[in-house]
Amino acid sequence: MNVAAGPWQVLVVDDHLVVPDGLIAVLQRLLPSAHFDEAGAVPQALDKIAARRPHMVLLDVDLPCMNGLDLAAEIEAVYRLIRLLMVVAEVDPWTVQKALALGASGFVAKARSGCLADAVLAMLTGSQVLCEDSQAALERAE
């Protein structure tokens, strides 16, 4: 099965204007038939999730008004089939552990576009993915 062929719906939630554009540019090469959308704030993200039911949400942890982890918990509670990929500027073990406990399927650093591509493909097949920075952070915390 060609995972990239899917008609995937992907939502990128990040309050920085440039970040969603960059993530979507990377993912468009990977998933050419996917439909991408973006949200810069939690209320907008919740509206788009309710209306479009994306397969995957790429979610920043640092959002105004509501922490991305709290939003992940809300998404997981209401929309259990949506795969959540936490995309963060800085990887710390507490955030990785919390995200995974809340049901996130993956955790990657924004600066690692290669890891992002691998994570997205793995998650679309149902796997859980940690980039090497995330894995190393968890190992340091043990």
pLDDT at 90: 82
C-alpha–C-alpha distance, residues 11 and 24, integer Å: 9
C-alpha–C-alpha distance, residues 131 and 98, integer Å: 16
Confidence at 124, pLDDT banded by 50, 70, 90: confident
Residue 45: inside a domain: yes
Residue 2: inside a domain: no
Provide the 3-class DSSP secondary structure of residue 15: coil
Q: Which domain holds residue 127?
A: 7-141
Beta strands in 8-122 (DSSP E): 9-13, 35-39, 56-59, 83-88, 106-109
Residue 112: inside a domain: yes
CATH assignment at residue 134: 3.40.50.2300
Residue 133: inside a domain: yes
Number of domains in the chain: 1
Residues 13 and 39 sit within 8 Å (Cβ to Cβ): yes
Residue 50: inside a domain: yes
Residue 1: inside a domain: no
* 38-88 residue pLDDT tens: 999 999 999 999 999 999 999 999 888 888 999 999 999 999 899 999 988
Residue 137: inside a domain: yes
From the centroid of its chain, how far is CA 21? 14
